[in-house]
């Protein structure tokens, strides 16, 4: 089996593949204070809850935007799975030509998403990822990673309102129903959710103009359903896009499952 790990700033998503089948997946908090052993015991508990022997894992591939957690989970991989993980980065085959000013600075998660989208859909492509940051990535018709844009994510935008405003509460991120809120909470929901919908629609329009051709728009990320339900600009929702990309990269780098 192949264990895929997508280490994000807020959450870490794990996916367990047997062949091309995603057998199970988990979403856990990214905790910089956990030790390799604490993560190891957590992983063992997750595997036991799924009635899977953790020793069935013979390969691990990791995408990370949090270097301290990457170091910790590499140690966890050695100790609890007896596996030396493959970390997506320079020198790892992805099958994608990166056409940016400095390819090394592009986040591994963005490359992995682009790789997965390129396997699922014909280009050109626009990939929107609703994570701690909201990222937009462009892929050419030839399958080249062209670059993109980065904006504050939905969650941290809502938290900023709560933390920086004395009288605004922390809110649950759910669809507002109406743009004109009749109270503070509904007004905040409207501003946050519809504000991000507007951001998506405008940036997708600008990306398509710069690509000079129509593009397929794919979205992923923990809060994707919240925004995708409110706009026609998103054509396809792929909740496990990053895990699919990691599995494909594992395959082309000769990792067994």
| Annotated binding-site positions for ATP | 6-13, 132
Q: Is 88 within 8 Å of 61 (Cβ atoms)?
A: yes
Q: Is 10 within 8 Å of 30 (Cβ atoms)?
A: yes
- Catalytic entry in 109, 122, 186, 251: 109
Q: Which residues carry a binding-site annotation for K(+)?
A: 129
Here the tokens at position 120 are 């699922």
Q: Which residues carry a binding-site annotation for substrate?
A: 107-110, 184
Q: What is the DSSP string of 108-163?
A: HHHHHHHHHHHHHSPSSEEEEEESSEEEEEEE-TTSEEEEEEEEE-HHHHHHHHHH
Cα(35)–Cα(22) distance, rounded to whole angstroms? 27
Q: Is 251 a catalytic residue?
A: no
CA distances from 118 to 38, 121, 137, 227 (A): 36, 5, 12, 22
Here the tokens at position 52 are 């899977």
Those residues whose C-beta lies under 8 Å from the C-beta of residue 162, and which sit 6 or more positions away, are 168, 169, 170, 171
Q: Which of 85, 109, 102 is nearest to 36 (CA)?
A: 85
Q: Which residues carry a binding-site annotation?
A: 6-13, 107-110, 129, 132, 184
Cα 66 from chain centroid (whole Å): 13
Q: Which residues are known to be catalytic?
A: 109
């Amino acid at each position: 089996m192949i264990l895929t790990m997508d280490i994000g700033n807020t959450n870490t998503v794990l996916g367990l593949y047997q062949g091309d089948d995603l057998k199970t997946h988990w979403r856990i908090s990214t905790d910089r204070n956990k030790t390799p052993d604490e993560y190891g015991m957590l992983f063992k508990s997750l595997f036991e809850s799924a009635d899977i022997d953790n020793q069935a894992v013979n390969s691990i591939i990791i995408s990370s935007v949090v270097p301290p957690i990457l170091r910790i989970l590499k140690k966890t991989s050695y100790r609890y799975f007896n596996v030396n993980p493959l970390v997506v980065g320079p020198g790892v085959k992805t099958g994608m030509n990166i056409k940016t000013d400095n390819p090394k600075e592009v986040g591994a998660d963005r490359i992995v998403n682009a790789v997965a989208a390129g396997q699922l859909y014909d280009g050109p492509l626009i990939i929107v990822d609703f994570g701690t940051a909201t990222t937009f990535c462009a892929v050419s018709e030839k399958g080249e990673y062209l670059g993109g844009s980065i904006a504050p994510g939905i969650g941290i935008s809502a938290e900023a309102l709560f933390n920086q405003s004395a009288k605004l509460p922390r809110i649950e991120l759910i669809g507002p129903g109406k743009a004109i809120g009749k109270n503070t909470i509904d007004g905040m929901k409207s501003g946050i959710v519809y504000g991000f919908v507007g951001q998506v629609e405008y940036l997708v329009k600008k990306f398509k103009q710069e690509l000079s051709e129509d593009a397929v728009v794919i979205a992923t990320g923990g809060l994707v359903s919240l925004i995708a339900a409110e706009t026609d600009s998103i054509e396809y929702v792929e909740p496990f896009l990053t895990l699919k990309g990691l599995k494909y990269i594992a395959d082309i780098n000769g990792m067994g499952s």
